[in-house]
Structure 1
């Protein structure tokens, strides 16, 4: 199976052909994938070199001229390093863009901490008006990329990962999907966490919601699930643990509930290892998730 990032350049290259508003801004990373598109559209495929602040600033400038810019590099260089430009050039000027990241939380362990960004979604949460897509399969990534580019002049973040579920789910860029229904709690699996969550709760009487658009939260889906499955809610996210607990709590503000946020821990892992070793070290493999979810639900049942 190809990766989400494998889909990025072909999909956006087709969008460049289809829509004269679309422009692509790169910071060296991924430039080879747009060589042919750049020859067809030299005025709308721009490589600023390894200058991530300029990446955001140039994209904002294009947006202010009426174009729909797509900006791409590793997550740590796309969200963390140029955060001031995201806040001011895009946010303060109310300029829309599509930010598409690669490497996600720890997809390239050999790159070390400089290439890891588990706090990217939490950082964007400090700003107003961002839509955040977290696909869990290359097919979903393609759908959500197209949805993001077509989203008028909105500010959208698409978080691509090498981690993926075995099968795609039909996604629409808005709603959460009910994968299975139960009566003893709700587990929300975000993007590439779905397969591990389903294995973790196998034979457990819980509802599983699948979320690929995490901002804004699908309040209606979450409230409906807690209305039938009980108000113990577990969020399993492929980035910083607890990132979405405040958003979920707001969605359930008038509903007494218990909430557990599982994700990447704050402690730095100082060995490169493999992606799967990082997954296990952060307790996001199926066995660890089963233990943590079971303990949380059991505590609620005994309360």
Structure 2
């Protein structure tokens, strides 16, 4: 007899965690811009001074969050990733960064989860954009069970945190770590899987002699963890990220600054804008993030390294 396991979407875990936290933390505030707002109708009626829906005014949403933080509240801000990071970026830079106040930004949609809505709802450049301002912690969970502890930790803190939620998940939760978790060990190189790409990476590397590292927290970047893995394996690094290809290349360079190494960055392509719709799986294949494409890319990279010796 097969046991059916019911799994929640990351978005619903986020909603339930925030609603519960609002009832126990009088300094927690929530600011939305229509997206997911109906989930919080009861909480808004109960805490009208702490649950605010600004409508489609994302710049105002971030500005209000900055004001709430200055007033001693811990704001959680939520909408689709492009409306959370890209559209109000100036306010992120000034109202949060320049004022040096904290907030928890929780985005949905990831790079291209909601394909039918088109390019307006896609944000493969979000993490790279946040890299241009200092002081951000970035979480990219790959399983719904990772969302609640990451969110509760963010709420309990006072810094600037981005929690990047996705509809794409892997099958088993990995114990949370501030850095990399070693899932496999091998001698030919190191493959890093960030959040939702883990299942494809594990499938792609199942017969390869490589170390596989997993991360659900990518900023701060675990320089020591990567360095340790490379020293124990081989100086071949493949960085697989569910957003713009090469987003963490500068972090790898810093971690291995005095270690001769080779890097292949895999992620959402930078060379052209994808204008087709299709499905998220179609886009994975186009960007080379499905298991078959990853296997081909990683194998070729490792073989090139052997040939150059």
In the superposition, the TM-score normalised over structure 2's length comes to 0.96
TM-superposed CA distance for 1:40, in Å, is: 2.3
- The whole-number CA distance in structure 1 between the counterparts of 2:67 and 2:226 is 38
Partner of 1:125: 131
Give the alignment of 1:37-116 within 5 angstroms: 37-116=43-122
Partner of 1:156: 161
- The whole-number CA distance in structure 1 between the counterparts of 2:172 and 2:46 is 34
TM-superposed CA distance for 1:12, in Å, is: 0.8
**Which of residues 228, 231, 241 is equivalent to 1:227?**
231
- The whole-number CA distance in structure 2 between the counterparts of 1:143 and 1:187 is 26
1:134 aligns with 2:140: yes
1:249 aligns with 2:253: yes
- The whole-number CA distance in structure 2 between the counterparts of 1:206 and 1:37 is 48
Cα distance per residue 1:104-128 (max 9 Å; x no partner): 1000011111110100000000000
**Which stretch shifts more, 141-150 or 77-86?**
141-150
- The whole-number CA distance in structure 1 between the counterparts of 2:159 and 2:235 is 33
Q: Unmatched 5+ residue regions in structure 2?
A: 1-6
Cα distance per residue 1:219-250 (max 9 Å; x no partner): 12111101111111000000000000111111
Partner of 2:307: 302
1:240 aligns with 2:257: no
> Structure 1 runs of 4+ off > 4 angstroms?
none
Partner of 2:3: none
Cα distance per residue 1:8-63 (max 9 Å; x no partner): 11011111112122110000111111112222222110101110000100000000
Partner of 2:203: 199
TM-superposed CA distance for 1:256, in Å, is: 1.0
Q: Unmatched 5+ residue regions in structure 1?
A: none
Cα distance per residue 1:157-199 (max 9 Å; x no partner): 0000001001111114x12111111111000000001110000
In the superposition, the TM-score normalised over structure 1's length comes to 0.98
- The whole-number CA distance in structure 2 between the counterparts of 1:10 and 1:35 is 13
- The whole-number CA distance in structure 2 between the counterparts of 1:254 and 1:32 is 52
- The whole-number CA distance in structure 1 between the counterparts of 2:241 and 2:255 is 17
What count of residue pairs does the alignment treat as equivalent? 301
Partner of 2:4: none
